[in-house]
Amino acid sequence: MNDPCLPVAEILRQQQRFLVLSHFRPDGDAIGSQLALAILLKNLGKTVAAWNDDLVPTKFRFLPHSDLITAPPATAQDFDVVIVVDTSVWQRVGVAANRIGRRHHFINIDHHVSNEKFAEINWVVPDAPATGQIVFDLIHRGGFPLTSEIATCLFAAISTDTGSFTYANTTAAALRAAAALVDAGVNVGELSRHIYQSYPYARLQLLQMALADLTLADHNRIAYYWVTNDMFQRSGAKREDIEGLIDHARSIDSVLVAVLFEELPEPNRVRISFRSKHPQVDVNSIARHFGGGGHREAAAARVSCNLHEIEGRVIAAISRAIADAGL
């Protein structure tokens, strides 16, 4: 399907029972896009459910109607339409995948280059800076009303995935969308205060512990550190508090790639986050080598491994990518 916008818009108008999903461990783009669609459908008089295994992170609970997002139910439910946003792999919706009975339409809206196109309609735009940008286009081109509540959710989605409009993925279209969203009623100061200036003290303690272990490698072009289960326990931080910690390693002037290793609660499981500052170093390709994926500048993987071995393997893979890029 060359342009899914109008077919998707028609499905939104014609069908009645909707489920909107996003990936577990959701970020601002996932939550903002999911809520924007759920609110739009509610405003259209539809029956809407929105599920996420991990619910809404604390710092995004100020978003309008954040209580629309609930945990998946214990038993399966039927829907006319299932829409999955900001999710490149179907398994990343978690338990929700097993709570869907019959469905007539299955829509995948995403911007990850690693998207596996698992649905009936796959609206995947790798050049889009955020899934929220695609949802904005759906609302604009589909002729749907853009309320201040929807605009606030979409601004949160686009802002967080562009690093508050500072990352290389910030496009002219993203800035035009942001202007339109502000015109629709977004209070940028209030939104920024909630998202970027309201971290719990426990997160700062977690960062302090992680930075104490920061290591530079490959002539200071790679920076990495660990966040362990023990650090979470000692700081009192939540798993959601890890969001954005990798940016401190990326901010070092000599660094081309930053890596954050997160020890997961499950034995011998690690989540690896990658960030690239150089256009020739594609961390999506590196993450895919470890069973993950994402974007050229930002990607992640979850691996079952010996914790003492994975660090060396990952750093070696990044060093090879830097060398292959001729840097």
pLDDT digits (tens, 9 = 90+) for 252-284: 999 999 999 999 999 999 999 999 999 999 999
Say what the alpha-carbon torsion angle 203, 206, 211, 214 is, to the nearest 10 degrees: -120
The predicted model scores a pTM of 0.93
* Residue 180: φ, ψ to 5°: -65, -35
Percent pLDDT > 90 in the chain is: 96
Percent of the chain with pLDDT over 70: 100
Angle 77-83-87 from CA coordinates, rounded to 5°: 115
| Residues whose CB falls within 8 Å of the CB of residue 153, separated by 6 or more in sequence, listed in order | 31, 32, 33, 35, 36, 39, 63, 64, 132
Cα–Cα distance between 295 and 305 in angstroms, integer?
23
CA distance 108 to 67: 23
Q: What does the pLDDT look like over 288-314, one tens digit per residue?
A: 999 999 999 999 999 998 888 999 999
The candidate with the shortest Cα–Cα distance to 123, out of 33, 48, 42, is: 33
pLDDT tens digits for range 170-214: 999 999 999 999 999 999 999 999 999 999 999 999 999 999 999
Mean pLDDT of 37-44: 98
What average pLDDT score do residues 35-50 get?
Answer: 98
- Is 179 exposed, middle or buried (CB count within 10 Å of its CB: 0-12, 13-18, 19+)? exposed
Cα–Cα distance between 288 and 271 in angstroms, integer? 13
Structural domains of the chain sorted by starting position, each given as residue range(s) with its CATH number in brackets: 5-196 (3.90.1640.10), 202-324 (3.10.310.30)
